[in-house]
């Protein structure tokens, strides 16, 4: 299992008229958690796409809204990979407010594609080799 945490503060422009974090913005926060997790193992999405030639499109996403986040809340995005797979990656995301209360929980499944051909490919070695020590 590999776990990564990153923080983000809810910006005014991300809230709705009630002052809640707009529900459509949670997907962006989930993405932020994934991007920073990949960065934490020494890669970036840019490296995967430009140097390695592999993209990671989203196949499915499930989001549970538990309690609202508000303007200026400091949130912790906890992103977990529970299983290393050569076919796809499934990220489990929990978002907590500054009081440590769970506000959202979700799952995102991504596959791997060759950037040029748009065909599915296995997990690139550069990614799997960095993840595999966490699944021994």
Residue 85 CA: distances (Å) to CA of 8, 37, 77, 89: 29, 16, 23, 6
Q: Are 7 and 77 in contact (CB under 8 A)?
A: yes
Q: Which of 16, 73, 87, 99 is catalytic?
A: 16
Question: Can you tell me the distance from the alpha carbon of 107 to that of 94, in angstroms, rounded to the nearest whole number?
Answer: 9
Residue 16 falls in the annotated catalytic set: yes
Return the HEC string of 9-68. ECCHHHECCCCEECHHHHHHHHHHHHHHHHHHCCCCHHHHHHHCCEECCEEEEEEEECCC
Residues annotated as catalytic (active site), given as ranges: 16
């Amino acid at each position: 299992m590999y776990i990564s945490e990153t923080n983000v503060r809810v910006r005014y422009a991300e809230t709705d008229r009630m002052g809640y974090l707009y529900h459509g913005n949670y997907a962006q926060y989930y993405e932020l958690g994934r991007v920073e997790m990949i960065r934490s193992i020494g890669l970036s999405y840019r490296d995967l796409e430009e140097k390695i030639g592999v993209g990671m499109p989203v196949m499915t996403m499930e989001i549970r809204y538990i309690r609202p986040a508000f303007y200026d809340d400091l949130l912790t995005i906890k992103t977990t990979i529970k299983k290393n797979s050569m076919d796809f990656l499934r990220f489990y995301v929990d978002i907590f407010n500054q009081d440590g209360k769970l506000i959202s929980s979700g799952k995102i499944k991504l596959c791997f594609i060759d950037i040029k051909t748009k065909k599915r490919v296995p997990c690139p070695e550069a990614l799997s080799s960095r993840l595999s020590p966490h699944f021994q």
